[in-house]
Chains A and B, each alone.
Chain A
């Protein structure tokens, strides 16, 4: 019985990213016909890309995703399973590392899976919809608030 249950869960999980990708592709096709270039957004995201590259070099991180504006940087990462015991320390390290790298930015980091999904979604939207700086800032603040909730 348990094996069946676990099997079902596996299949369920395997499908999730696929569904997400499809929905994003759909959006992409609609947006491409109306939008021109998205240069401004791209240059702004270079900070985010740099941060992701830096964090992904760490041995204890499985994946990372980030969005940035001129003032703010939001990075969500997934810690490797066996390193999760040390998650508190890792979180502190990453926060410090990024604050040192980008002293001009208001840095928010999170190891939370929900934040990881949300940040990934936000990054996709920014790429496709050419969001204004203010809108991204507001969205980052919203996610920051979510990451600080405790109970």
Chain B
């Protein structure tokens, strides 16, 4: 991005998240002056951090849904590090960080403690990044699902280990450049593996509620958190959160990049109950994956010189498959 952005005013007559001119009943949680500010300002996240945005919206929505009776277990990672440089803390919720791999199990323990102490009003969220969720924390996550422990697990997926300098995780997309999948050689960037779709794996556990969301649609994120808190048992929310530093996009483009991920079909947004898909967020204006990829320097090698149309086509095929599989485009899509 170059040059100043033209500032647009959305407030009047729109449904945008910050709009306080709407009727109270349809205002977002975040537009409410009495919101909890669960992740308060002053933390040390990078400019344009998608994870900070997602966590703030998610936890504020959860706090409202459960009347402030919330405790949070946090995995090691960006979210933990940037929010709690000793002796400061940005958390305005009861918050515990233990380790990288165990947030789901710590959540289980907190839920058990609340049950045994008769604190049936207190609800538990465990949260972490993609590394702490789909890689190193995966066993604890699956165990929590299988036992159907009363925990909502939120994964903020920025598609790599950003805190330690952008290394590949199993959520890193094909062809993306990271510190451990450099853009060199015949097949630059990350491998085209089989992928690891943790929302689908969560659904395979048959747990009450699984959803994906993105910071590109913060109302949808709030809605899903609120809905998740309406269930008891294990729940999973997978939130797509761009990382300008790791993805190599402009810090002012976080939401735009997130939107293109959703609108291209690369990040399907859907929800499921007890293992069955019950809703999807339809793509409003389908875009080719090129539009998404070209905004990020982690994919720059796909477009340098004569480009790499073959591998871009492979990425497009992934998006097309998502669109078919989840019915993201209404025309002729399976219900």
Do A and B share a complex? no
Point out residues on B near A: beta carbons under 8 Å: none
Q: Residues of A with Cβ closer than 8 Å to B?
A: none
